[in-house]
Amino acid sequence: MTVDLSDEKFEKHREAGEILAQVREEAAERVEVGVSHLEVAEFAEERIRELGGEPAFPVNISIDEEAAHATPEPGDDATFGEEMVNLDIGVHVDGWLADTAVTVDLSGHPELAEAPAEALDAALDIVEPGVHTGEIGAEIEDVIDGYGYNPVVNLSGHGLGHWEQHTDPNIPNRGVKQGVELEVGDVVAIEPFATDGGGKVNEGADEEIYALEREASVRNRAARDALEQIVEEFKTLPFARRWLDTQRAEMALRRLKQQNVVHGYPVLKEQDGYLVSQKEHTIIVTEDGCEVTTRA
């Protein structure tokens, strides 16, 4: 089957990636000791809009043992310390997505920050039509092992769909036999995670990111107002509690969760005392390799 990579949807993936590459670099430059998490998140989200896109999900700011799904709460006063900081940012243009991440090391562990970046480069070097996703995972695992660290094995890269942040195929961060072969036109995010811990993350207690599960009738006024905003603005993409206009957002989300209208994304964490680093690009598989849409 011939795939037209000049199709409008691919152009919008490219546009999202171009915006995202610029915002990632600008946001990373603002990560310094003493700077507010909320300030960086809101800067990046507003900058995306200024450049003609929309956030595909709340800016993730993961610290030290945190790996994913951490974003500032409303009025958050947390500031960066001498820590390992992962920025994970997404953009959509009319629902067509790009996803990227970078580690800013303020902790004094530069090699841990380098490991997933080099692993990502090695993975991108072998991407072409017909490459098996397990081979990509093996390449990632080999590089991270070579640094003396562990890949986070229960997090993976993923496909990007229309209004869907995570679709098939999964791109593992270790060598596995199961998987699929990539095809021309596949749009995927490859995101190695490295850690000096055991290599598995678990759900923490904190939860600030949510997504629509289904539409339903709700009786509570605040919950109904929140649901209207979610359906109209975010559709099926993840959103932050701080994005909701209702003054009773926490209560509204609790009601919506009770009715299985939305689901939450708990922060994913390694064991306390360990660090996690990350690097991610979005690619379009081409006839002779891949096009990296989020490369600056």
User: Residue 125 catalytic?
Assistant: no
User: Residue 13 catalytic?
Assistant: no
How far out from the chain centre does Cα 151 lie? 17
Instruction: Indicate the helix (H) or strand (E) that contains 269.
Output: strand 262-269
Nearest to 276 by CA among 173, 161, 168: 173
The answer to whether 208 touches 167, Cβ cutoff 8 Å, is no
User: Residue 88 catalytic?
Assistant: yes
Catalytic residue selected from 158, 186, 208, 281: 158
User: Residue 168 catalytic?
Assistant: no
Catalytic residue selected from 64, 191, 207, 225: 191
Quote the DSSP letter at residue 208.
Answer: E
Which are the contacts of 110, defined by CB distance < 8 A and separation ≥ 6? none
Catalytic residue selected from 45, 54, 66, 99: 99
Token reading at 45: 């989200």
As a whole number of angstroms, the distance between CA 239 and CA 231 comes to 11
Catalytic residue selected from 45, 54, 88, 270: 88
As a whole number of angstroms, the distance between CA 276 and CA 181 comes to 28
Catalytic residue selected from 39, 114, 162, 166: 166
CA distances from 74 to 41, 191, 240 (A): 11, 28, 9
The answer to whether 185 touches 166, Cβ cutoff 8 Å, is no
Q: Residue 10: helix, strand or coil by DSSP? A: helix
User: Residue 191 catalytic?
Assistant: yes
Which are the contacts of 155, defined by CB distance < 8 A and separation ≥ 6? 67, 68, 173, 191, 193, 201, 268
User: Residue 7 catalytic?
Assistant: no
As a whole number of angstroms, the distance between CA 25 and CA 104 comes to 11
As annotated, the active-site residues are 88, 99, 158, 166, 191, 280
